[in-house]
Chains A and B, each alone.
Chain A
Amino acid sequence: MTDLAWIDAALTSARPQAIGALLRYFRDLDTAEEAYQDACLRALKSWPRNGPPRDPAAWLILVGRNVALDGVRRRARQVALPDEETLSDTGDAETATVERLDDSQYRDDILRLLFICGHPELPAVQQIALALRIVCGLSVPRIARAFLVGEAAMEQRITRAKARVARASVPFETPGAPERAERLAAVAAMIYLLFNEGYSATAATAEARAPLAGEAIRLVRLLLRLFPGEPEIMGLAALMLLQDSRAASRFDAEGGIVLLDDQDRSRWDKAAIAEGLALIDKAMRHKRPGPYLIQAAIAALHARAARPQDTDWAQIDLLYANLERLQPSPVVTLNRAVAVSKVRGPAEALAMVEPLAERLDGYFYFHGLKGALLDQLGHPAEARDSFNRAIALANTPAEAEHIRQHLDRLSQH
């Protein structure tokens, strides 16, 4: 007997591989998706009766391909569909397919599918929406809810994205090593984007958006299984797991932001932290830390600290210095300044932050940090100016509320 929850999970987890292979056969996203859906319908009929197949993905690929080919033939010759039983009886054929399709082909199928969905020519939101729809199988209403837009608008966005990637015509031949590396980097960026859409959620939208972070973690694990020796993919997986381990403690009961220092660390997800730390250990052995791995290592230093005062800020400062070298950006410098303020004091941190004023003038966190540093240095009037600027730039009510607390405290003095 096969329970429905198992079938549901099996269909979900086989989806990227099955659609990736069907896309290679039919070279068209819509056809691949329809073929997969037809195969799922047949699985729902056949699996409870005949038991689950040994390799669900291979079963879905084979059945999906047959159904779609029959559709093509039927349209061509107006021949009736073969009856259900002939199609569902795939026991022997399944074994044959599993032996025929080797793992390296699956790997490139899935990578190609992810690359097409997260194609660099697509705007960020379309990349994420397309990946959620095609790779993760989220329904359009659910994606629309996550992005706070109407269903029709989201449907249209996804259709446009599909048309655009079809025009971009990603080659279907087996990619060479440089192409594979390029696709891997683009896919990693898309997955992190997806994760951040889920993670940067406010308390109010957290419920609709939380699945995005979960889907992103599922995709990065999939990528890691396909490319087990890539330290940057280990780093990205670790980074996402460690950030997500704090999800339950990021908002208070009223929906306000709880900063890292004030979070209840007993509510951090210990299994996610253990997995993240294990991945960092593995990746560090490669001795060529890239940007994801360094960011993960920074997150790990927070995860390892039992209390906020145990945080190794000196090491965080060093890691940010490395990140600045690899990936210079004013936002990285701004983050480093937080570590510097803890290690060498607010004056030095402020000196580091001030030259960023021009480039980060429209950035909430810049003014928030500057205000906090000025406050610590005993300049309440200037601190108030910065906080007022920050409030004007707040992205969410929770961010604004957090700054308002600073302002309230300042006015009491």
Chain B
Amino acid sequence: MKQGALVSLLALLVLAGFAGSLALGPVAIDFGAAINAVFGTGPEALRLILLEIRLPRAILALAIGAALGISGAALQGYLRNPLAEPGVVGVSAAGALGAVIVFYFGLARLFPLALPLGGLAGAAVGVWLVYALAGRGGSTATLILAGVAVNALAGALTALALSLAPSPYATLEIIQWMLGALTDRSMTHVWLALPFIAAGVLILATLARGLDALTLGEDAAASLGVGLAGLRLRLVLGTALAVGAATAVAGVIGFVGLVVPHLLRSRVGYRPGALLLASALGGGALTLCADLAARLILTDREINLGVLTALIGAPFFLALVLQSRRSEP
């Protein structure tokens, strides 16, 4: 498939998912009523549901999905390993830890930007650790070990925060949020996260050519004029901004960055650079759909989005590990 056609198709999927996310839920809203509600002639309740509940949720699903999709594609291209993903390599867990620390010390109440900044700082430390442990075209085994190490460290510190939490209510709040969800997010969350996510996605989008060249290894890429130090800096910064901010408002939503690039790779002719934009759109579409499913599967309550993506993504990850074991000597 031509690149343009693929991007158009993915953009259509995103639009459909976005519209579905606005229209579907416990209260069914038809198109005409929605238009009336938004422009002020319909019932007030409908307007509230649309603009205060469903719109922020749809925007966050799209933005977070795009952040996770493009970060997965960028990490895979940079580490030259199809198993790299913010969740698997521990970047999401590190971002979550950053946000938990902010929760724990009540910093978010003093200063709202503390939450995304905490997530960002945690994610930056996570990416840097993974690079230090598994960078330079390390093997799959090294990468997964690095992920295990970073996940374990972030998990242990998060568990410490939980066990020392001041009240059962705080514990519950942290746990609920760690499971990853978009329930009850408001436009405040959108404004907190969206600028950081947008900046991160834009930075990652500039990596396309460097990631293409890295297909031939670091020396060949450098000899083709790619500045490796700058590339690495942009990767760490972009991933930290995108994943850190996403994790700070929605908790850990795993495997989107693994599944989406894998499904799209052959359709962009295996070019790591071309995979970036496609994965951003694909990640947005997948997360919108997954969030819809999380709302609609059970009639009396919601499934956490992070739980749902893990239920789909973990078996997928397992299959990929088995496949890569077979192809490695």
Partners in one complex: no
Which B residues contact A (CB, under 8 angstroms)? none
Which A residues contact B (CB, under 8 angstroms)? none
